Amino acid sequence: MSDRTEELRGPLEALLFVSDEPVNAARLAKILDADPVEVDKALRELSDEYADEERGFQLREVAGGWRMYTHPAHHPYIEQFVLSWDTRRLSQAALEALAVIAYHQPVSRGGVNAVRGVNSEAVIASLVEKGLIRETGRDKNAGNAILYATTRAFLEKFGLKDLAELPPLEEFAPDPDTERAIRERLNALDGPTLADEDVEDDEDDDKCEDSIDDVE
Amino acid sequence: MSDRTEELRGPLEALLFVSDEPVNAARLAKILDADPVEVDKALRELSDEYADEERGFQLREVAGGWRMYTHPAHHPYIEQFVLSWDTRRLSQAALEALAVIAYHQPVSRGGVNAVRGVNSEAVIASLVEKGLIRETGRDKNAGNAILYATTRAFLEKFGLKDLAELPPLEEFAPDPDTERAIRERLNALDGPTLADEDVEDDEDDDKCEDSIDDVE
Amino acid sequence: MSYTVKTDIFEGPFDLLLHLVARQKVDIAELSICDIADQYLAYVDTMRELDLDVASDFLLVAATLLELKAASLLPQESMPELEEFEDMPAEEARELLVARLLAYKQFKTTAAELAARFEATSRMHSRAAGLEDRYLRLMPDYLEGVTLRGLAVICADLVYRREVFLLEAEHIAAAPISLEAHVEGVARTLRNRGRAMLSELVMADASKEELVVTFLAILELYKRGLVGLKQDVLFGDIEVASIEKEDR
């Protein structure tokens, strides 16, 4: 490796490690404020290095960019490992968050909080890890809050062709206007006033507190 | 690396790469059908190797197991890439309550209130929601007050192998000067000189039980 | 961190007391419980204007300081009873306060250390990308037993609860009834009487709005940990009891 590609190795590995989709060299170069050609070279070297050293993962160039994968040689172990995962079912809190996301997607954490009345950060993180929801973009109008949507695995689990096949919420709500009202409210709440910077004050995210504000 | 640990490296990397929580050496050994001692050795070597080669990720022993993380040096890039300003901070109030719970667990809300001098209900609820603490039982001697303890997620988020890794509380005791200053300033001008009496242990202050249970 | 911006807000009475005690670096000999007590009360006074609920958390310590101050001025006088420091000679009360303050200070320092650890750890990211597609089907079924219908019911339930909540709140807002005033009113009654039935707390001719606000006020007091609630039978009268603030 040249000095420059050597320098790029650490940051590139870190970015590729956390990425959940292929990333192209241009985007990586932009984040690292580096020359795209250098980045491309560093990626190829890294890919070779993983292969030569027989590491547990590999770096592959696929449609859309570069992504780390586990090495196929170890697949039997991984299968056995995944099969051994804890079968604990979702908590009530997680189910609630999942239900809200399924019906209101794409929705920000703030939006889920607003409907559930409590902070939903931890459950959302666990739903992402379980592959039931995923980040789907940013809400430009709400401080770039991350938006969440359900995954294909979610659809498959319930045998749904697409989201339009979700049973209409109205069937379960006493008031047919409720859903629309909530959607409007969610949109309003997602506005800049409920930007995600506020999340550290979780104590205040409390339903009762909201009620006082509403009343006064 | 010895031959054997060399052999284990690839499979270990693959398993650690896909795991969504820290995994202990015994479990990894079982899946790989290997000697736990060898696996433990291989994990330590791998951890050192990542550190020596200044890779983008690192292997750390936390919360009773091993898990891969990105190297902190690359945090700014990652923040820019996926996490944005979605950093999860805790309020001062939450940290104080968490500190009391971490060191006095299992402890009731009354116990936390007693140390903080303020009602901690809301912060405790938010810590539960964040998955950092959990209900762990009831205090039969204190009106069945709910007892709280820290979770595995707490260990992981605070980078601790286990609770024994918490720095000893004594390290944080106010120094003699501070103590003297506090005593003097809360003393009456002409009051009797205070003997160095035992400082009351707050753990035992559990006369303050869960206030709601009192009534029922 | 978030708390650094709210410079003049203290996390509790001990936090404020600690601040006052630590602030005056000079003339230790000149300082006394009298000065501290006065400063403390002055602060609580400004706080009271801002937020009565917050201020109430500080009153026990204020009362203790006052007792200590009185004791230092009139050492022979017997002191009025104080909840937590009840029947305790001034010297002992002071000693307890010092001990509490020291213990609090210790945990405040500990919290800072934890915050530093948290901060350091939050710069290391685990992989949250989820499994490669090929392994997804092997994952345990976290949704075992959950039906689509079940999910819809959960969502509709949440949405409906929220909606009713907002509608009620809007409805109340239209009437010139201050919830905070009702909270105070109910709290006052309970301070005097110790306990009361819901039926006693609302006037016989109360409007629906007043009934709702009184009920909300009781819920608010419950949330603040100031009252306990008891209902013997379904749809029966609710007993509201003031809670001795021994755990403050």
What tens digit of pLDDT does each residue of C81-112 get?
Answer: 344 555 567 777 778 888 888 888 899 899 99
pLDDT band at residue C69 under the 50/70/90 scheme: confident
CA–CA min distance B14, chain A (Å): 4
Domain ranges of chain A: 3-74, 92-207
pLDDT band at residue B135 under the 50/70/90 scheme: very high
Note the pLDDT tens digit of each residue in C6-26.
335 677 888 888 877 776 544
Q: Do A119 and B131 touch (CB under 8 A)?
A: no
CA–CA min distance B144, chain A (Å): 24
- What ipTM did this prediction achieve? 0.70
Q: What is the pLDDT of residue B201?
A: 39
Q: What is the pLDDT of residue B158?
A: 92
For tokens 């707050």, name the residue: B202
Q: Do C121 and B159 touch (CB under 8 A)?
A: yes
How far, in Å, CA of B63 to CA of B162, rounded? 6
Residues of C in contact with B194 (CB under 8 A): 91, 94-95, 98
User: How would CATH label the architecture of B92-207?
Assistant: Orthogonal Bundle (1.10)
Q: Which residue has the higher pLDDT, C131 or B160?
A: B160
Long-range contacts of C224-233 (CB under 8 A, 24+ apart): C224/B119, C224/C53, C225/B119, C225/B121, C225/B211, C225/B212, C226/C187, C226/C190, C227/B215, C227/C190, C228/B211, C228/B212, C228/B214, C228/B215, C228/B216, C229/B212, C229/B215, C230/B215, C230/B216
pLDDT averaged over consecutive 10-residue blocks of chain A (216 residues)? 81 92 92 94 95 92 91 94 82 89 90 83 84 84 83 85 84 61 56 38 37 35
How far, in Å, CA of A205 to CA of A94, rounded? 17
* Nearest by Cα to C224 from B144, A203, B204, B203: A203
Q: Which residue has the higher pLDDT, C21 or C52?
A: C21
Name residues 127-146 of chain B within 8 A of A (Cβ): 129-131
Is the Cβ of A84 closer than 8 Å to some Cβ of chain B? yes
How far, in Å, CA of C30 to CA of C22, rounded? 14
Q: Do B158 and C131 touch (CB under 8 A)?
A: no
Note the pLDDT tens digit of each residue in C183-201.
777 887 787 788 888 887 7
CA angle in degrees (0–180, nearest 5) for C177-C180-C186 = 95
Yes or no: say if C140 and A86 are a contact pair by the CB < 8 Å rule: yes
Which segments of chain B are extended strands (E)?
Answer: 57-62, 65-70, 107-108, 133-139, 145-150
Q: What is the pLDDT of residue A137?
A: 82
Region of poorest pLDDT, from A76-80, B138-142, C231-235: C231-235
Bridge partners, A62 (sequence order): A65
A136 HSE (CA, 13 A, CB side): 18
Note the pLDDT tens digit of each residue in B58-117.
999 999 999 999 999 999 998 888 754 345 578 888 999 999 999 999 999 999 988 988
Bridge partners, A135 (sequence order): A148
Mean pLDDT of the residues in chain C:
72
Handedness of CA C157, C158, C164, C167 (dihedral sign): negative
Note the pLDDT tens digit of each residue in B154-213.
999 899 999 999 999 988 988 888 888 778 777 644 344 333 333 333 333 333 333 333
CA quadruple A170, A172, A177, A178: dihedral, nearest 10: -120
Residue of C nearest to A159 (CA): C148
Q: What is the pLDDT of residue A66?
A: 95
Which segments of B23-124 are extended strands (E)?
Answer: 57-62, 65-70, 107-108
Residue of A nearest to C181 (CA): A216
**Mutation to test the C interface, candidates A105, A215, A216, most C Cβ within 10 Å:** A215
Mean pLDDT of the residues in chain B:
82
Q: What is the pLDDT of residue C54?
A: 60
Q: Do C111 and B58 touch (CB under 8 A)?
A: no
Q: Do C106 and B209 touch (CB under 8 A)?
A: no
User: How would CATH label the architecture of B3-74?
Assistant: Orthogonal Bundle (1.10)
